[in-house]
Structure 1
Amino acid sequence: MDWLERMNRAMDYIEMNLAGDIELEEVARRACCSTYQFQRMFPFITNVPLAEYIRRRKLTLAALELQNSSTAKVIDVAMKYGYESPVSFARAFQALHGVTPAMARQDGIALKAYPRLSFQITIKGVDAMNYRIETKEAFEVFGMERVFRIDEDGEAPNTPAQLWQESHANGEVERLAVNAGDLPKFVSQDSYKVHGICSYRDTGKDTFPYMLGAFKSGTSNEAGYSTVTIPALTWAIFPSEPIGWDAFGDTIETLYRRFFTEWLPTSGYEQADGLELEVYGGRDGLHSVELWFAVRKV
């Protein structure tokens, strides 16, 4: 089963269950990946988080039902599409459509419709993607770990970017860089000492672990830090061009998006458990990032 078919099977399941319970495990199973991987790649491909897409589809169908039926009660429609009370339904409905559920029945009222997503082949790839495939033996990383929600909800810092900001401000990044010691030989010697390590263990379907980490070597001091063993894996590695700090966010976003939308669907590989590394480096006053994706042959 190819990538397009798997993704469309996942969309079929969501569409068939908009008026019921949508099990994220089943969505991901139909796409042949983990729940974390599916929720992780979905917004890069579609520009909308999975939960928001489902919410929009539910409220689109709810609006059509109210508009086309003079007998349907608002509370019944609310319950049908997963809202526990008319108040929460009305709040969500007005946020999306700009009108209350009762107003949706008025003749000529303007509503919004978000159609079902489907995945198709599009012509891309005009711009070359630099990458390499490397198989590496097991290695260890250590550093400061946090667990985040995929939907970025919860107490601050609630994103890896905020963790970086906090750790720079309190000096933890600099302290970890000192404790990192020498870089191991399998890492470019232009690399910095502190990197981002993502999804190296299972923390539940709605969360993922992220570490501000260093590669462990014979001169490292990992006392007081979390230590993780990364098993022997094959990696697809995507380097950026040299850039300034002000372009870093957009550059990383572009690399992730092109990996999920251009390289992965046609490469003959799939992600291996969602494990990713952001390896930072630089020279001559400019900076760079390499995104390491653990992959395996389909």
Structure 2
Amino acid sequence: MDSIQNMNRALAYIEANLDDEIDFGQVARIASCSEHQFNRMFSFLSGVGLSEYIRNRRLTLAAMELQSGTAKVIDVALKYGYNSPDSFSRAFQHMHGVAPSLVKENGSLLKAYPPMTFQLTIKGGAEMNFYFVEKEAFNIVGIKETVDTTGGNFHPEIWNELENDDLLKKLEQFSNTDFQGILHVNANITANSRDYYISVATTKDDSQEFTTFEIPAATWSVFKTSGPQPDTMLKTWERIYAEWLPSSGYELAESIEFVRDLNDPTDLSAYEIWVPVKKR
């Protein structure tokens, strides 16, 4: 339950700063997680991206001010983070269907996007199979791409490399530990980018073709997923954030999360999701 309360405290901070610059580092600290984890948890719990939610809330408040007050469009635009009346007008009209200069006319219908709060709902029914692993730091070697995630985009070009059997065979030659399988790792995550690896665990450090990276020691909660991909995996991620974490007694830890392809010949859709956690 603490994670839900922390999320609501973070939302209260956002709500109090809609007419100012929002410190997303502070948002994450209030929620007791990283910025990346907060964005993911918010998205899974709410079904909408954080930036879209903030934009909708600001445009709701802007409409109320324009309709009931004497504020100028340019002043309201600047107040809610728009650098020009034109960009504000486009966003406003896209949401409300009317130009901001016309909201006071009779019959203008505006949309309201109320502030959001989260509550824990016990759904019951479907079980979740998981186990805990305490693992020492280990190295991975793999194909790396720095992905521009501006605007919520996340489509690594190197996903195409998964069709390249020769390249994957070269990569698998570096897999010399008992931690087998292709690892899909996100690291060095910022507000606008992340490093994405298709990799294997290894003790070798002599690769000329691939990039090495160390995953620090941590405790992970591991969830197995099997079924049509990527839908099954996305649904499992959603349940981890929306159902398991709020009721587990654990919270997200500052470490690396990744997906492990089990390479199970009897179930090609079998993956494990590794989520770094710590006791509350």
| TM-score > 0.5, shorter chain as reference | yes
* Shift in Å, 1:274: 4.7
What is the aligned partner in structure 2 of residue 209 from structure 1? 195
Aligned mate of 1:269, from 250, 254, 267? 250
In the TM superposition, 1:207-286 aligns within 5 A as 207-216=193-202, 222-241=207-226, 243=227, 247-280=228-261, 281-284=263-266, 286=268
* Shift in Å, 1:160: 4.2
In the TM superposition, 1:1-298 aligns within 5 A as 2-69=2-69, 71-152=70-151, 159-165=154-160, 167-168=161-162, 171=164, 174-181=166-173, 182=175, 184-187=177-180, 191=181, 194-199=182-187, 202-216=188-202, 222-241=207-226, 243=227, 247-280=228-261, 281-284=263-266, 286-298=268-280
Paired with 2:275 and 2:148, the residues of 1 have a C-alpha distance of 20
Amino acid paired to 2:134: T
Moved more, 259-268 or 204-213: 204-213
The TM-score, its normalising length taken from structure 1, stands at 0.86
Paired with 2:245 and 2:78, the residues of 1 have a C-alpha distance of 39
Q: Does the C-alpha gap of structure 1 residues 270 and 52 become closer, same or farther in structure 2, counting only changes over 3 Å?
A: same
* Shift in Å, 1:152: 4.8
Q: Once the two structures are superposed, what CA deviation does each residue of 1:168-196 show, in whole Å capped at 9, x if it has no partner?
A: 46x3x641333322552244xxx4xx331
* Shift in Å, 1:135: 1.2
Paired with 2:52 and 2:241, the residues of 1 have a C-alpha distance of 19
Q: CA RMSD in A?
A: 2.2
Moved more, 140-149 or 278-287: 278-287
Report SS of the residue matched to 1:38.
Answer: helix
Counterpart contact for 1:278–1:291, Cα < 8 Å: yes
Counterpart contact for 1:180–1:221, Cα < 8 Å: no
Paired with 1:150 and 1:2, the residues of 2 have a C-alpha distance of 29
Paired with 2:211 and 2:220, the residues of 1 have a C-alpha distance of 23
Paired-residue identity, %: 40
* Shift in Å, 1:159: 2.3
Q: Once the two structures are superposed, what CA deviation does each residue of 1:47-101 show, in whole Å capped at 9, x if it has no partner?
A: 11111110000001111111112x2211111111111111111011011111111
Amino acid paired to 1:214: V
Q: Does the C-alpha gap of structure 1 residues 184 and 249 become closer, same or farther in structure 2, counting only changes over 3 Å?
A: same
Counterpart contact for 1:19–1:58, Cα < 8 Å: yes
Paired with 2:229 and 2:85, the residues of 1 have a C-alpha distance of 44
Paired residues in the alignment total 278
* Shift in Å, 1:161: 4.9
Paired with 1:296 and 1:151, the residues of 2 have a C-alpha distance of 29
The TM-score, its normalising length taken from structure 2, stands at 0.91
Which runs of 5 or more residues in structure 1 are unaligned? Answer: none
